[in-house]
Chain A
Amino acid sequence: MVHRPWSSSHRRSAVSRQPSAVNIHSFTHSKLKMLYIVITYLWASILLYLLLGGADFGAGIIELFTSKKNKQVTRKTLYSAIGPIWEANHMWLIIAIVILFVGFPVIYSTMSVNMHIPLTMLLIGIIARGTAFTFRHYDAVVDDMQYLYNSIFAISSFTTPLFLGIIAGSAVSGHIDPQADTFVDAYIFSWLHWFAITVGLFTVSICGFLASVYLIGETKVEHERLRFAHKAQFFNIAAVICGALVFVAAWFEHIPLFDWVFGNWVGRIAILSATLSLIWMWALLYQGKIDWLRPLAGFQVTMILLTTTYKHFPNIVLLKDGGYLSLTEHAGQEKTIEALAWALLSGSILILPALFYLIYSFQKNPLNYGNEAH
């Protein structure tokens, strides 16, 4: 006899609820609160990954766009800036993925199927980058291998956010077609189109921008600062150009991006305040004041994420046939969401103070590259 635990003592109640209890209407009022807590965490971890992971990717992108003679200095600044929080920066991605597959399994599995190829590319980037970063620092012998690690690190710092952007862009592009009957329609054109690619490039330039702004505050040497300020300018311009291209691509592909961003007050206010804060930021930079740069850059990116997600919330995947996958309608059952919310809340109580203390202690007393961990 095969033992079946699921039909014996583990059964909780004899009455079964609505068969497909995956609908928002089956959530009781207080549990709906739990669902919104989970959604907030999902959004926050995506944002934090974009900001912290993004700055981290950006540091590698800067390396890619730095002349040979400055590379070594850049690398040192970079290392002392991100070394200790390196691992933690990438945890946000894992948190977001876990929230998706536990709380919103239909969204996770649909994306996994149709985005198989870009997700695989993303993973390759993550593997290459993570290992190259560690190897180049911990290799006990310093020789020509460093050149290899550095190139892998810089290139994958570019491709990883590129594919992240492509995946994010595809999710809302309406190119995903669960009914597609050819390989190319289902697995290639779901992500290979101009809108997604421009979103990818936009993401890359945002990362470069975040990193340059971040690094300005990490060095005490005046001409270094200037160099990072130039980089920030460069990536700022790149972001504006790529952003414009995203709109152009959206227009050609009939994606109502303009309406999403400017068709409502939240979007308009967000874009306006982001623009104003950008101007303020540049003014500060030219006066040589650097204290507020990071929060301002962070604010701008937050506003961008807000505008692009606000209008079609709670739908985060828009399908070709006009259907969509929604964070409320395609959430898991009540008990799952409740447990997930409690796990996230109690996790934060443990994590956040420790994380702040980590960042604080290495901000107050930065690493001296070359001496630590040896």
Chain B
Amino acid sequence: MNDFIAARSQMALSLGFHIIFSCIGMVMPFFMAVAHFYYLRTGQAVYKNVTKAWSKGVAIFFATGAVSGTVLSFELGLLWPEFMKHAGPIFGMPFSLEGTAFFIEAIALGFFLYGWDRFNPWFHWFTGVVVGVSGLASGILVVAANAWMNSPAGFDFLNGQYLNIDPIAAMFNKAWFSQALHMTIAAFCATGFAVAGVHAFMILRGSNVPFHTKSFTIAAIFGCVAALVQPLSGDISAKDVAIRQPAKLAAMEAHFHTEKSASLLVGGIPNEEKKEVDYAIKLPGFLSFLAHGNFEAEVTGLDRIPEENHPPVAITHYAFQIMVGMGMAMMLIAVLYFAALWKKRKWLQEPWLLKLFALATPLGFIAVEAGWTVTEVGRQPWIIYGIMRTADAVTPMPGIAYSFYLFTAIYASLAVFVVFMLYRQIKMVGVLYDATADH
């Protein structure tokens, strides 16, 4: 494996790992706040148990998220020193604000996890909300930094120099809003479906049904609301990408030839040699509509973009298809669930709906990973879009492949550990929380 590919793979692996933990770290505090709120209002012990059980899961995820995030802040330099040398001062603003957000999150988490029965209950509840709000803030800030890589702003690039740096303008670049919105909703969607799925599975198994039903309902409602709005926000993102990064849009859709009233492809195998897509279902005009809101509009194809600036088409295309596919599947489930809540209460008692949720456990996270693949691979060959090539940013140190193998081994074992830990948490629910006891 050459060093450049190794560096990219290591970055992708680390980010792909971190994003799972950060989504959970951002979203679970809100689920807990709801359960905690019901406990404080109704005094039902089961809500307290749900809050406590979740908070232990979150502590595990939080610690893993924190260490993997710390690793990332070093990896940016370890793998991409040339990039950081120039980008650091420009896109650093969100990172410096993020430091504050993390700190507040860590402090609030200390209060929340260790504060049972020592503070005013509502103060304690509030610290849990602060954990969530500051987590969301840090997620949005770091996405603004990523958006800057897609849509560089806040400096003048003259003769290879980065002049007149304006960190505020860099933070509010043209991509930050659409990306931050889409990412935030994605985090709710993915976490909601994952948590709901696990609890649905436990209900099906018939263990601690009241406990798991309460947990399921909270998570499912969050996840389903997010799943309903996510396609709308995805549409905003797509329109945005069409203007900012036509090469990325073309790669997402494997759109080789510029044309008016372009068709949207469903599935298909891109053939980069022949510049064709085999076996795809074509929806005429829909790509023009998706990209520009008009069935007639012209959509730039890869033919208008110099060959050396083409992103990898196949990966971007498949990843996009996967994200949208997962999004549609979750949207359907959400529609069924809300139909059940409003009109068909009896569906809630039937196992098929729960089975559907149990099967959908990983869908949201698959969509998140696929979505990031679209964004990051679709930006290639640029690390700063239109300014610096990824290949020029990589560390001069040879042997990165070994580093990649090492980190792969570490992340793989961490993943195993976390799953093992969660398995044990869930297995012990019946022992740790007596749902009938009133304390």
Contact = CB atoms under 8 A, between A and B. Distances in A.
Interface of A: 2-7, 10-13, 16-17, 19-21, 83-88, 90-91, 93-95, 97-99, 101-103, 105-106, 108-113, 116, 119-120, 122-124, 126-127, 130-131, 133-135, 138-141, 183, 186-187, 332-333, 335-336, 339-340, 343-344, 346-347, 350-351, 354-355, 358, 361-362, 365, 367, 372-374
Given A120-B403, A332-B88, A16 B151 contact: no
B163 A116 contact: no
A285 B182 CA distance: 58
Given A20-B161, A113-B397, A358-B107, A105 B118 contact: no
A368 B377 CA distance: 50
21 contacts: A10-B166, A20-B161, A94-B73, A108-B85, A109-B88, A112-B81, A113-B395, A113-B397, A123-B70, A126-B67, A127-B67, A127-B410, A131-B67, A183-B399, A332-B89, A335-B166, A340-B93, A340-B96, A355-B107, A367-B114, A373-B56
Contact of B92 (A83, A112, A336): A336
B321 interface: no
Contact of B152 (A6, A110, A126, A335): A6
Contacts of A141: 424, 427-428
Nearest to A13: B164
B153 A105 contact: no
B60 A135 contact: yes
B142 to A, nearest CB: 11
Given A84-B113, A335-B165, A351-B104, A91 B99 contact: yes
A3 B99 contact: no
A41 to B, nearest CB: 10
Closest CB pairs A-B (n = 3): A102-B92, A112-B77, A347-B100
Contacts of B166: 10, 12, 335
Contacts of B427: 140-141
Given A87-B62, A131-B417, A102 B386 contact: no
Nearest to A80: B114
Given A350-B100, A373-B113, A87 B106 contact: yes
Interface residues of B, number: 93
B398 interface: yes
Nearest to A346: B100
B103 A5 contact: no
Q: Is the interface of B mostly helix, strand, loop or mixed?
A: helix
Contact of A131 (B56, B63, B87, B174): B63
Given A101-B84, A105-B84, A105-B85, A17 B425 contact: no
Nearest to A343: B96
Nearest to A113: B81
B249 to A, nearest CB: 12
Contacts of B399: 183
Contacts of A134: 59-60, 63-64
A4 B173 CA distance: 12
Given A6-B152, A98-B73, A123-B74, A108 B88 contact: yes
Contacts of A91: 99, 102-103, 106
B68 interface: yes
A346 B70 CA distance: 22
A83 B410 contact: no
B66 interface: yes
A13 B157 CA distance: 13
A103 to B, nearest CB: 7
A99 to B, nearest CB: 8
A119 B79 CA distance: 12
Interface string B42-77: 000000000010011001101110111111011111
Given A19-B163, A20-B161, A84-B114, A112 B244 contact: no
B13 interface: no
Contacts of B99: 91, 94-95, 98, 343, 347
A19 B386 CA distance: 21
Interface string B147-165: 0000111111111010111
Contact of B71 (A103, A127, A358, A365): A127
Contact of A138 (B60, B75, B119, B167): B60
Given A135-B60, A358-B111, A339 B168 contact: yes
Interface in B396-411: 396-399, 403, 406, 410
A5 B174 contact: yes
Interface string B411-438: 0001001000100110110001000000
Nearest to B64: A131
A99 B93 CA distance: 10
Contacts of A130: 63-64, 66-67, 70
Contact of A101 (B76, B97, B156, B417): B76
B387 interface: yes
B428 A140 contact: yes
A17 B155 CA distance: 12
A105 B95 CA distance: 13
B246 interface: yes
A352 B75 CA distance: 28
A16 B173 contact: no
B153 A6 contact: yes
B109 interface: yes
User: Chain B CB within 10 Å — which of A140, A354, A355, A358 has the most?
Assistant: A140
Contacts of A99: 96
A12 B170 CA distance: 12
B432 A140 contact: yes
Nearest to B432: A140
B421 A135 contact: yes
A231 B370 CA distance: 52
Nearest to A135: B421
B78 interface: yes
B303 to A, nearest CB: 14
Contact of B386 (A2, A109, A138, A140): A2
B376 interface: no
B171 to A, nearest CB: 9
- Counting chain A CB atoms within 10 Å of each CB, the highest count among B56, B110, B173 belongs to B110
Contacts of A17: 163-164
A5 B108 CA distance: 38
A124 to B, nearest CB: 7
A10 B387 CA distance: 15
A343 B164 contact: no
Interface string B131-149: 0000000000000000000
B243 interface: yes
A202 B77 CA distance: 27
B96 A88 contact: no
B28 interface: no
Interface string B176-192: 00000000000000000
B420 to A, nearest CB: 9
